[in-house]
Structure 1
Amino acid sequence: MMLRARSALSASSLRPALRQTPVAWLVYTPACRSFHASRARVATLASPRMWAAGAVALGAAALLSLNSVASDSPSQSPALLGTESTGPDGIPIATNWIQDPQKPLLVVLGSGWGATSLLKELEPGAYNTLVISPTNYFLFTPLLPEATTGTVETRSLMESIRRICQRVRATYFEAHAYDVDVQRKLVLVEVDDSIADQAVKRRFYVPYDRLVVAVGAQNNTFGIPGVSENCNFLKSIKDARAIRAKMMDLFEHAALPTTTEAERKKFLSFVVAGGGPTGVEYAAELSDFLHEDLIKFFPDLVRNDVSITVIQSADHILNTYSKAISEFAEQKFKRQSINVVTNARVTRVNSDTIEYKLKKPQAGGPESIELPYGMCVWSTGIGMKPITKRLTSSISEQKNSKALLVDTRLRLLGGAGVYALGDCATIETPQMLKLVNEHYQKTGRDLWSYGEFKEVADELVERYPQTAVHLGQCTPEDFEKLDLDHNGRLDRDEIKKWLDDVNNHLTSLAPTAQVASQQGAYLAHQLNQLSLIPRETWDHYENTKLKPFRYRHFGSFSYVGHDNAVLDLQNVWSSVGHINGVGAYFLWRGAYLSEQVSLRTRALIGFDWVKKQLFGRDITRS
């Protein structure tokens, strides 16, 4: 009895200390349960040797408790967070993520295509690297339309950003980058601490030597009333889940005996605002889901009450693709009973109707139309995020109202040490006339021979790679077309006409995953080279040694339904131009599998496609 009392006393006396740390409590709790459940066995097996072993174990637990208590102190302690210094307004500067003070500081904002591509190509350990993003995963956005119907599961499209950071030995903070102080080289970070303390937002600064802004863009409503309140978007994993849940809600409500015929038709009217790749692929996926899966469970509803309408402001859907592809997609949609309304501009979105105005109304027909809907998916463009708006307003060189302006090396205009890439950035318009005037001053000649014309054209392409498509090879035949007076020389007026023609055909790079991925890989290569030389020489080295970014287009895919896809190759393989049908569908799937960031997501997506073929799509609401 005395032995049992001593043992119980020892355990109870240690309980408060052990409870101070989760780790020690995990060690202590099973031992206590075992002890109280078998006290008689403990008494009989007790011996001096066992008491010694017990003393060692309890001593180790106590040490573990003390160490854990020391390491688990409150997170707001500036010393433990490495925030000994403060920035503007007394906000602390976080330095706890800096692993080697001798290495430069690289901060990456975002976890999308541009940021992920950069992290995959960055040399491990070359920088003290910090990634800041409110989403702790990379999302394979091209397959989001498939996630809305269950062709692929949402988890299959996501890869942990911490797993990606691990390869390059980078630190990750799940937080919002609120603003950038380009003068002090500080990023203001905002953390939503609603889990710990409701409605409290903590802020801290992060220093950098090089900053990469790859925050992407947000949906653009163009100021149309009711869009934000009544439409579903398709840009994030939450959007895809919301669309999937709402779609099944509408079908279940339409199947109830209390639902009238008018209500059924309204509930099952699906409207897609925007005829670009995302809108077209969502409409195609929805049509497949209806006619391959839901028709088995809601046959009368699918045959009699469902309608799909795509509203497009241009003359054709997929208007950035070749005309042949647009016409092929429209024919496919017609066979699938998808109504395509072109040359129409949405004017208002109400809670259950959408209003649009026809640019070319039929004779005697209405100009404005109001269409009832159960769900409206808005997919008509992108706009700037709050942080990019703040950057634009704080830097005088930023004159673009739609994206951050960068030079051909992706450096932010007016922001030393800052790069921007992906959807949030656009490359500045080439200063071609300035280069031509420099050539005039250098040579002192106003008339150019073919050799001088070719020399200037090659220099333009080298300095501004985006002009390569329009300047072509600058053959003698091109020179003859520009030589309007056929005197074998180009005068200033003829050269100006040539430059104006090139400028009129220049367009910004499309905000696609392909562009952002190439920009991220390019910037990683540049940063790898900079890490090998002294920091004071970086700017000079970038200007003289590093080549400008050059985008290489590999074609554009779009799924159009019923195992058919389109592949636009007009700027890649001119002799082919495009590929349509089932062949393009298999190329599309193979390309998307090869573009996965990990073997894990590649396997998951492949399994999802096989599962869909064997068992169909899941129709439960999740």
Structure 2
Amino acid sequence: MASTSRALARLTARPLSGPEAVIARLGRTHAASFTTRSAARAPQLSARSLVAKSRPVTRQAVRSYADAPPKKKPRKIRTTLRWMWRATYLSLLAAVGAVIYDGYLDRHPEEQFAPDPEKKTLVVLGTGWGSVALLKKLDTANYNVVVISPRNYFLFTPLLPSCTTGNIEHRSIMEPVRQILRHKKAAVKFYEAEATKIDTARKVIKIHDNSDVKGNINETEVPYDMLVIGVGAENATFGIPGVRENSCFLKEIRDAQAIRTKIMDCVETAAFKDQEQSEVDRLLHMVVVGGGPTGVEFAGELRDFFDEDIQKLIPDIAHRFKVTLIEALPNVLPMFSKQLIDYTESTFKEEHIEIKTKTMVKKVTDKTVEAEVTGPDGKKSTITIPYGLLVWATGNAVRPLIKDLMAQIPAQKESRRGLAVNEYLVVQGAKDIWAVGDCAVAGYAPTAQVASQEGAFLARLFNNMAKTEALEEKVRDLSASLNLKPGNTAEAAKEIEDTEKQLRRIKDIKPFHYSHQGSLAYIGSEKAVADVAWLNGNVASGGKLTYLFWRSAYLSMCFSTRNRVLVALDWVKAKVYGRDVSRE
């Protein structure tokens, strides 16, 4: 206690004034009371420990306490949130600005120049994936390009099943062909017509105007020097009676519109007053034939439509809704891995979508489907399935134009599924004719991904061919003038050598090779499956996160910024307000 008192006396040896005196008095009072309490409660504490406890009241501590600025509360979280908001705000502004600028460029394209009439005429048939990929990358300044197609737009077919239920409007996945061609360097001619015959001997194409409004000339001929055929394929019915008359297909925009109308017809008729229960069950039974991506995605979209919209608007009959998927093979999605096939089938079971595999349709009437089922023991039985809507989403057939061309070419006699092409996509047995997409047989599956890569390959091929001709002409001109100017002989020879080297590099074009990027499919309930190529293998995934990847992948693959914006807005609109259930 004595040592403590001496320590306190030393602290107060020098006189203090002003605020320091007040703080010091408070410190002495605090130290004294603390010393008294410590002595009473813990007599065993030593004087050194008490002095140590009283150190905060030294003169230096008092002065530091008096002079130190008040401490501020940490604002790291508030600062982080502020910067995150600024980044989001700036990103939104940048995105809006990019969309506006892209729209401005679409509305104000650069002036085009007329192509040289002395150059070769390149005719492109069709406006599908292969043809549009070719036109997108082709330098039209090298040729007189003519495009012929019965439809004046490009259709983003992977999102076509979403149009059938109103999740996406059909205009959102269409891109006008003239809009595409308007942004090329040289002007391109477009004729909305159907090619009815290709005369390989005369190198002309007969075209027919099949629009509802007829003019004075409905049929004419278009000459060509080079021809690219990308007319695709038509729906295959395999000769089954009643399919074409009673089924809805899913290949074009008009097909999606017809399906949408038929769905609402079935719903409204089933809700009609005093309708028999057996008839309600038939009308609300939707049958899908084909277990590929198109059939699977349509079945999933259909189930979502009833669970999320019809169930709320017409609850009296919604519980009777049923979807059946028929597939002739042992399982659905044969191009996917076994893991994803099992996941899809289990998901469909949870969504009450019945899958009938090893089932072949034999006959279709206006109300029933007759099919032959192969059981696990190998025995076959016939079943009859009543339906309100039947969607046929399986198989491709050769178009009449392609059949006629194959009949003209002896080398095509053995081909059955389309035009047989070589490794450079040249039609075998023909001269100056190439084929891409579903009308060509190149050893790959008839998918949009294959057609798009084939079209891009042909664009590179034609661009290189044009450069090759220009360089060869340059070499001929330099060689002809080599002896006319003796003073420049060495310089001209060096230029010829460099040009020939460049020519060899351009001529070294590798054959077409398809690079599989993966497969995607939506399976309903905001779930999707993806089998994506990664490094030297594949990555298989399924679920809700894959569904987000499916949406982002399809959004990025849309042809233009306009399509991406429209599709995104349609998704938001359907999520907030629900799908449109109007009949038209």
Regarding TM over 0.5, the answer is yes
List per-residue Cα deviations over 1:489-519 (Å, max 9, x = no partner).
xxxxxxxxxxxxxxxxxxx311111111111
Residue in structure 2 matching 1:341, options 321, 332, 356 = 356
Amino acid in the other structure paired with 1:380:
T
Q: CA deviation at 1:572?
A: 4.4
Residue in structure 1 matching 2:252, options 236, 260, 269 = 236
**In the alignment, what sits opposite 2:420?**
405
**145-154 or 175-184, which moves further after superposition?**
175-184
Q: CA deviation at 1:253?
A: 0.6
Residue in structure 2 matching 1:137, options 153, 163, 167 = 153
Change (3 A) 1:547 1:252: same
Q: CA deviation at 1:342?
A: 0.5
Amino acid in the other structure paired with 2:444:
L
Q: CA deviation at 1:241?
A: 0.4
**In the alignment, what sits opposite 1:581?**
543
Matching of residue 287 in structure 1 with residue 222 in structure 2? no
**In the alignment, what sits opposite 1:534?**
469
Q: CA deviation at 1:544?
A: 6.0
**In the alignment, what sits opposite 1:181?**
199
The 1-side partners of 2:537 and 2:124 are apart by 41
SS at match of 1:129: strand
Q: CA deviation at 1:543?
A: 12
**In the alignment, what sits opposite 1:516?**
451
Question: Is the contact made by 1:553 and 1:572 (CA closer than 8 Å) also made in structure 2?
Answer: no
The 2-side partners of 1:528 and 1:155 are apart by 32
Question: Is the contact made by 2:150 and 2:210 (CA closer than 8 Å) also made in structure 1?
Answer: no
The 1-side partners of 2:579 and 2:261 are apart by 14
The runs of 5 or more residues in structure 1 that have no matched partner are 1-96, 428-507
Matching of residue 568 in structure 1 with residue 531 in structure 2? yes
Change (3 A) 1:384 1:124: same
Residue in structure 1 matching 2:223, options 190, 207, 216 = 207
Q: CA deviation at 1:426?
A: 1.2
Residue in structure 2 matching 1:392, options 384, 396, 406 = 406
**In the alignment, what sits opposite 1:595?**
557
The 1-side partners of 2:123 and 2:545 are apart by 43
The 1-side partners of 2:471 and 2:151 are apart by 34
Change (3 A) 1:122 1:371: same
SS at match of 1:258: coil
The 2-side partners of 1:235 and 1:400 are apart by 24
The 1-side partners of 2:507 and 2:142 are apart by 22
Amino acid in the other structure paired with 2:273:
P
Amino acid in the other structure paired with 1:247:
I
Change (3 A) 1:537 1:226: farther
TM-score, length of structure 2 as denominator length: 0.72
Change (3 A) 1:573 1:172: same
Alpha-carbon RMSD: 2.3
Q: CA deviation at 1:195?
A: 1.7
The 1-side partners of 2:236 and 2:546 are apart by 30
Change (3 A) 1:572 1:218: farther
The 2-side partners of 1:218 and 1:568 are apart by 27
Q: CA deviation at 1:324?
A: 0.8
Change (3 A) 1:210 1:98: farther
List per-residue Cα deviations over 1:69-89 (Å, max 9, x = no partner).
xxxxxxxxxxxxxxxxxxxxx
Matching of residue 123 in structure 1 with residue 152 in structure 2? no
**In the alignment, what sits opposite 2:347?**
332
**In the alignment, what sits opposite 2:490?**
none
Change (3 A) 1:193 1:241: closer
SS at match of 1:577: strand
SS at match of 2:244: helix
**In the alignment, what sits opposite 2:9?**
none
Matching of residue 278 in structure 1 with residue 240 in structure 2? no
**In the alignment, what sits opposite 2:513?**
550
List per-residue Cα deviations over 1:509-531 (Å, max 9, x = no partner).
11111111111111001111112
Question: Is the contact made by 1:193 and 1:201 (CA closer than 8 Å) also made in structure 2?
Answer: no
The 2-side partners of 1:400 and 1:287 are apart by 40
Change (3 A) 1:193 1:262: closer
SS at match of 1:532: helix
Change (3 A) 1:250 1:138: same
Change (3 A) 1:562 1:193: closer
Matches within 5 A, 1:10-409: 99-168=115-184, 169-192=187-210, 194-196=212-214, 202-303=218-319, 305-360=320-375, 367-398=381-412, 399-409=414-424
Q: CA deviation at 1:116?
A: 0.7
Q: How many residues align?
A: 440
TM-score, length of structure 1 as denominator length: 0.68
SS at match of 1:155: helix
Question: Is the contact made by 1:192 and 1:201 (CA closer than 8 Å) also made in structure 2?
Answer: no
Change (3 A) 1:337 1:362: farther
Q: CA deviation at 1:209?
A: 1.3
**In the alignment, what sits opposite 1:474?**
none
SS at match of 2:139: coil
List per-residue Cα deviations over 1:407-436 (Å, max 9, x = no partner).
010111111101000111012xxxxxxxxx
Amino acid in the other structure paired with 1:529:
N
List per-residue Cα deviations over 1:216-256 (Å, max 9, x = no partner).
11100001111000000000000000000110011011101
Question: Is the contact made by 2:468 and 2:506 (CA closer than 8 Å) also made in structure 1?
Answer: no
The runs of 5 or more residues in structure 2 that have no matched partner are 1-112, 474-502
Question: Is the contact made by 1:124 and 1:167 (CA closer than 8 Å) also made in structure 2?
Answer: no
SS at match of 2:456: helix
Question: Is the contact made by 1:190 and 1:201 (CA closer than 8 Å) also made in structure 2?
Answer: no
Larger radius of gyration: 2
Q: CA deviation at 1:394?
A: 1.1
Amino acid in the other structure paired with 1:180:
I
Change (3 A) 1:574 1:543: closer
Change (3 A) 1:563 1:242: same
Q: CA deviation at 1:179?
A: 1.3
Change (3 A) 1:552 1:122: same
Q: CA deviation at 1:185?
A: 1.4
Amino acid in the other structure paired with 1:281:
E
The 1-side partners of 2:334 and 2:576 are apart by 35
The 2-side partners of 1:367 and 1:210 are apart by 53
Change (3 A) 1:537 1:410: farther
Question: Is the contact made by 2:115 and 2:141 (CA closer than 8 Å) also made in structure 1?
Answer: no
Question: Once the two structures are aligned, what percentage of the paired residues are identical?
Answer: 42
**In the alignment, what sits opposite 2:36?**
none
Q: CA deviation at 1:125?
A: 1.8
Q: CA deviation at 1:302?
A: 1.4
Question: Is the contact made by 2:270 and 2:283 (CA closer than 8 Å) also made in structure 1?
Answer: yes
The 2-side partners of 1:385 and 1:347 are apart by 23
List per-residue Cα deviations over 1:304-335 (Å, max 9, x = no partner).
x2110000111111112111111100000000
Amino acid in the other structure paired with 1:583:
L
Amino acid in the other structure paired with 2:191:
F
SS at match of 1:111: coil
Amino acid in the other structure paired with 2:331:
H
SS at match of 1:295: helix
Q: CA deviation at 1:534?
A: 3.1
Matches within 5 A, 1:453-492: none
List per-residue Cα deviations over 1:53-105 (Å, max 9, x = no partner).
xxxxxxxxxxxxxxxxxxxxxxxxxxxxxxxxxxxxxxxxxxxx984212211
